[in-house]
Amino acid sequence: MVGPNTTLIGGLVAAGSLFIINQALGLLMFRSKKAQTFLEGSPSMLVYQGKIIYKHMRKAGITDLELEEAIREHGIEKVTQVDLAVLETDGNISVLSHNFTHNTSHRRKANKAMARSV
């Protein structure tokens, strides 16, 4: 990132630049819905009322096996038992089933830590 410059100052300048760019993009996304959608994308519906939406699956690059695995992780046996499955912008798949006790959103541990700090 800093090329051949391996000094402490070079590293601090690179880290500071990344911090400033991150803050600027965060502020831009906060103020502009279009910028947020462009930078983060939008959620994609994968299953609706037990039927897989293959067009969205292909666009997202998700296979049937990956979808079935995510559904099983939510405690649901069959795709036909799913009311709604959505690929979220952070890469997680949220699932809402016929039995509303299985209303879950599978999150990675890193996301839980960030949610607690906010």
pLDDT tens, residue by residue, 89-116: 888 999 988 765 544 555 544 444 444 4
Q: Where are the beta strands (DSSP E) in the chain?
A: 44-48, 51-52, 82-87, 93-97, 104-105
Alpha-carbon distance of 8 to 12, in angstroms, equals 6
Per the structure block, which two tokens stand in for 63? Answer: 């296979």
Q: Taking 50 as the threshold, does the pLDDT of residue 73 lie above it?
A: yes
pTM of the complete model beyond 0.75: no
Closest CA to 86 of 43, 118, 53, 117: 43
The CATH number for 42-117, chosen from 3.40.50.11540, 3.60.150.10, 3.30.240.20, 3.40.50.720, is 3.30.240.20
Q: State the pLDDT at residue 52.
A: 94
Per the structure block, which two tokens stand in for 118? Answer: 């906010």
